[in-house]
Structure 1
Amino acid sequence: MSAVYDHLVTTLTGKFEVPADTVRPEASYDDLGLDSLAVVELFLTLQEEWAVPLDDSEATGTLTVGETVGLVEKLKTGA
């Protein structure tokens, strides 16, 4: 995968204590057991670490790990 994906996995497993074997690109944050506040906190963390303006309104439990990676990568490249 990408550096963004690898970093997101590290953040989810380290800061949010999500078991590494459950983190997959198609896994939603609901699947990973994160509540809405945790997803917003994750977005804030990613904004700080990657210096990208993620839209908090997109921080929902139905969003997948892969979709989040796509958002960050798109914002990083300015595409």
Structure 2
Amino acid sequence: MTSLYEPIRSCLGRYFDIPVETIRPESTMEDLGMDSLALVELMCVLKDDLGLRIPSGDDPLSLRTTFAEAVAAVEAAQRASESVAGSAGPAA
């Protein structure tokens, strides 16, 4: 799995009381017992506690998003922010 898979999985267990052994790549957020408010809370936790960038867009995560898709979206947002920061270069 990817580098953010375990940290995000641990976050779900710690903050949302989801047994980590039940979190599988194919599990949807709804399967994990999440609702729309919990998804917003998850994005805040990822940003505040793990320092991760959250995906941009109207609905970056939905109840039908699988755990693997959620991790991939967060990783893509991380890569995009790193490439923007890297291409900015030093200030003049």
* Contact 1:36/1:59 (<8 A) preserved: no
Equivalent in the alignment of 1:22: 22
Matched AA of 1:67: E
Offset at residue 77 of structure 1 (A): 1.4
**Structure 1: distance between partners of 2:75 and 2:6:** 12
Looking at both structures, which has the greater relative contact order when contacts are Cα pairs under 8 Å and sequence separation is at least 6? 1
**Structure 2: distance between partners of 1:11 and 1:53:** 14
User: What count of residue pairs does the alignment treat as equivalent?
Assistant: 79
In percent, how many aligned pairs have the same letter? 33
CA RMSD of aligned residues (A): 1.7
- Please identify runs of 4+ aligned residues in structure 1 that moved more than 4 A: none
Q: TM-score, normalised by structure 1?
A: 0.85
| Bigger radius of gyration among the two | 2
Matched AA of 2:67: V
**Structure 2: distance between partners of 1:10 and 1:53:** 17
3-state SS of 2:42 partner: helix
- What are the superposed Cα offsets for residues 40-63 of structure 1, whole Å, 9 maximum, x if unpaired? 110121133234142362231111
Which of 75, 87, 91 is residue 73 of structure 1 equivalent to? Answer: 75
Long gaps (5+) in structure 2: 84-92
Q: TM-score, normalised by structure 2?
A: 0.74
* Contact 1:47/1:54 (<8 A) preserved: no
Offset at residue 73 of structure 1 (A): 1.0
Matched AA of 2:65: L
3-state SS of 2:4 partner: helix
* Contact 2:25/2:66 (<8 A) preserved: yes
